Structure 1
């Protein structure tokens, strides 16, 4: 078999129960990824009192967690190409669930830090492969919307976790451990295993045409059972199996600019968002607001996160994603700066709400935008490396924030965070390719890859 015409056959499918079940499964993984990302931030203020943890120790744990994220993101690009998208998604979600569960029995800041690094590796890896999986399973005209919808559902893990933390952390000296137990429920992703189908486009790109055909027939059978006879796909495009790419291939001319843009995008997003979300409860507590109130204020503000992802779902396939990223990047910088200029509980919640809403719109857009800049040969590697470098950048981000807070004060932290968002917005505006109306970046060595 020369080809299975996977891209065109998937693109002509109407949205059906198959796509919705896939959305629920990926959203479940996202939910606990977002839940687990914030667990250390919500428990750190309590550990300051229980274990005598210092701001600098919190900075080191947070920094090392992002080293773990970098390792996870980079390794998963290789795994997703070697094992496939579906299997890698399951393995990485189980990985972060297991180490979140292990965090429950940590006995000091060192043991908890080790567990957080290992958890973070799984969180980052899962995110990368989920982005790629949605990109390759859903019709190209609608994948941005469903990428955003997955985050609309998944991002609810952030406010739910923060509200749970606000309720359970103050109870007694051990109740903070329940937050990590909650994060470990991502292990239940195994219940969805039989509903997910491997990406036919991944099979096809490896020359495994019989398996691609079987996967396509399974998907088409599920869709047709609900929607009736399917329309004919566009004619097949002859494509060669794509060899695995070495890292240095990203330095080739056709991949270099997209990789630079995405590295800057994810570096500024990582420092900008995690600088805010990881530090807000602790810094508010350091400024004299009680631990209970600081966690509660942050929990209220994160209610804006699902709304932001909903905004992305409504906008992402209607306008050019590049310019939406620029607009929302500037909006986050403005709202975050105002957050740092007030100690009024009302304005802390209002501007925190806006930061969370705009940031999650931005992140949902970035998840859809990133894999579109590469053809299928480079998609896994380019997405994972740029995302991983972004996460690695925050190995120094918390140290910078701790240094700024110690030497320049509370407001300097939020000036720095706002500046990072502006740098990201300008980079995307000047160098970012447009993607609206395209299926994926073409591979010039073959006919267009969809």
Structure 2
């Protein structure tokens, strides 16, 4: 059977300039994804004063944004399989940049809500495609580390946006629009497109062996010119080319288990993380802190985010990813609870810093862990659907948080969020499969993992 042996040929490559340029491009996309994801949260306190919107209206806008994320994730899985990983990555990044630009020109809450839903769809779609792309382009032994490296660089977009917002939002009645213009800079991702290669594993999965061979040969030639002669790859394992994936594929036992597990992982991560990041500025302002101070305190806490991704890069390929996720989730729950139980500005910053540090490490670990539970055939669909369902869950999350805040107060919100993190850690500890052993061509075949 014809076979380009993409998995083994990529796995035996040393890290080279090709991998570093790819990392830079993906990191740029992540940077503006993280920069843009909290723009509404940082401008909402100002819009309360300017447009007279309420906490409940903020909850509805936030909820609709997560519906957009779900749609974007599911659509992304289809686009990545139909168009290819590279083309889908380009178009989804342009999507969120264009609609962030449109958000800067919104004239009322309804128009801003529409643009934010469309922006959120692009953000989530880009994330799904980027996770799959990194998984398929880097050697198995270091893909977790490079996934985390991309997040280390990309996550800097969060404190950058919060610090920019803390400086420009209070200036005057229109300066909040500059935050959305900043998020739109992601459009410049087009400058990287000529440096990216399509995933040869995607071509191979479609039976396009000549295209896969051409890309692999080009990559190997560049790497060999830089690093010297390459070792021989392990021999391929002949297998029937998989048929086109359909949504019904996820109902099979070998895919249903990991899809359900990852749905729980992303549901608890989504409600837990966005419960903090989306609501902290508004709730602090409601509890008596000025808009300037609430945004500034949250900006300081997000400085921990890049350090958390770096921490993940140190442990992701050294220890079992499942147990790293469990440990990080438990620490986030504890620090987040302490964050909600204090009104001391120093402690708010300290515990918020720790929440951001471990949560971003958790996300980097999750991005590496998720696609490893599927073979090439089910990777895009399983990753996209589980990630999308996680994001969709937070359509209800903001409404629950708003109801808790109104009925039982500020601190009850953080009891709820901490409980969410603990639930996710417990389920992952009991049902999560191990993935640390080196991935081989045989491991790429469909298998029941749960």
TM-score > 0.5, shorter chain as reference? yes
The whole-number CA distance in structure 1 between the counterparts of 2:244 and 2:294 is 48
Give the CA deviation at 1:66. 0.1
Q: Displacement, 1:242?
A: 1.7
Greater shift after overlay, 238-247 or 16-25?
Answer: 238-247
2: CA distance, partners of 1:268 / 1:362:
12
1:257-278 deviation line (CA, Å, top 9, x unaligned): 2111100000000000001100
Q: What is the CA deviation profile of residues 5-50 of structure 1, one whole-angstrom value per residue up to 9, with x for unaligned ones?
A: 1001000100000000000000000000000001000000000000
Equivalent residues in 2 for 1:99-248 (5 A)? 99-248=99-248
1:394 is aligned to 2:394: yes
The answer to whether the 8 A contact 1:374-1:442 is kept is no
RMSD over aligned Cα, in angstroms? 1.3
Looking at structure 1, the residues matched to 335 and 40 of structure 2 have their Cα atoms a distance apart, in angstroms, of 24
Q: Could you tell me the TM-score, scaled by structure 1's length? A: 0.98
Could you report, residue by residue, the CA deviation over 1:358-405 in whole angstroms, capped at 9, with x for unpaired residues? 000100000000000001110000000000000000000000000000
CA deviation profile, 1:419-444 (whole Å, cap 9, x unmatched): 00011001100000000114178466
1:217 Cα deviation from its structure 2 partner:
1.1
Determine helix, strand or coil for the equivalent of 2:149.
Answer: helix
- Displacement after TM superposition at 1:241 (Å): 2.2
Structure 2: gaps (5+ residues): none
Q: Once superposed, which parts of structure 1, at least 4 consecutive aligned residues long, lie more than 2 Å away?
A: 440-446
**Conservation of the 8 A alpha-carbon contact between 1:207 and 1:240:** no
C-alpha contact 1:170 1:292 (8 A) present in aligned 2:
yes
- The residue number in structure 2 matching 1:262 is 262
* Correspondence 1:297 to 2:297: yes
Extract unaligned runs of 5+ from structure 1: none
1:445, distance to aligned residue in structure 2 (A)? 6.5
Q: Deviations over 1:161-190 (max 9, x none)?
A: 000000000000000000000000000000
Shift of 1:243: 1.5
Question: What number of residue pairs does the alignment pair up?
Answer: 447
- Conserved? CA contact 2:375–2:445, under 8 Å: no
User: CA offsets per residue over residues 323-358 of structure 1, 9 Å max, x none?
Assistant: 000000000000000000000000000000000000
Contact 1:325 1:365 in 2 (8 A): yes
Answer whether contact 2:374 2:446 (CA < 8 A) is retained: no
Query: Contact 2:322–2:429 (CA<8 Å) still a contact in 1?
Result: yes
Q: Distance between the aligned counterparts of 1:164 and 1:223, measured in 2?
A: 40
Output the CA distance in 2 between the equivalents of 1:445 and 1:179.
44
